[in-house]
Amino acid sequence: MAVSPTKKRILDEASKLFQENGYLAASMRDLAKRVGLQVSSLYSHVGSKEELLQKICFDSARVYLEGMKTIEETDASPSEKVRQLIALHIQIATTDVTSMTIFSDEWRHLSEPYLQEFRIIRRDYERRFGRMLQQGVDAGEFAEMNVTICLLTIFTSLRWLHRWYPEKRGISVKSLETEILRFLFEGLKKH
């Protein structure tokens, strides 16, 4: 569904506000001020602060799921699919920093039934990613491993990106991707 320019601006500013202040501390009054609307006018575009949180979280989840589906449907080897999925995480985390903060941290403030729905989506994503890792083990492309520990290690190693990667760091996204993939696939040990 198309989003009006005003609603897009509201969503963009809500993402920034939630990132800066946290969802709980952000107010609709602050948001209205940021977008140059009266609070009453803001409510003609959105129903509630939680509606904004829901939209941001589920839109971010959709980006991940669509990317994963595209990767799953390729004929690439399991290890190449894992590489592509890690690269997808890096790309999303470095191009949509504010939404990533909300998606990674603030989703816990969703109310039911949205919280449960979001948890189901996250678990399904983790299961599918884990399946790719296991396929790599089964194909002899990865060493024998505890797939759950590997999966959580990969996620943990990527979760900091949206906090750390403002462009002012002087590291290109491609360099960041190359280094992270090298560490994850080759480790620290000198060969």
pLDDT at 182: 93
Residue 180 makes CB contacts below 8 A (sequence gap 6+) with 86, 90, 157, 158
Q: Are 18 and 26 in contact (CB under 8 A)?
A: yes
Average pLDDT over residues 57-70: 93
What b/e string do you get for 9-37 counting C-beta neighbours within 10 Å, with b at 16 or more?
bbbebbbbbbbeeebeebebeebbebbeb
Q: pLDDT higher for 112 or 2?
A: 112
Average pLDDT over residues 9-38: 94
Ordered by start, the domain boundaries in the chain are 53-186
pLDDT at residue 1 is higher than 60:
no
Per-residue confidence band for 168, with pLDDT thresholds at 50, 70 and 90: low
pLDDT at residue 52 is higher than 80:
yes
Radius of gyration over alpha carbons of the chain, in Å? Answer: 19
DSSP letter for 144, please: S
Per-residue confidence band for 191, with pLDDT thresholds at 50, 70 and 90: low
Report pTM: 0.87
Right CATH for 53-186 from 3.40.50.20, 3.40.718.10, 1.10.357.10, 3.40.50.620: 1.10.357.10
Name the average pLDDT for the chain: 91
Residue 162, number of CB atoms within 10 A of its CB: 24
pLDDT at residue 148 is higher than 70:
yes
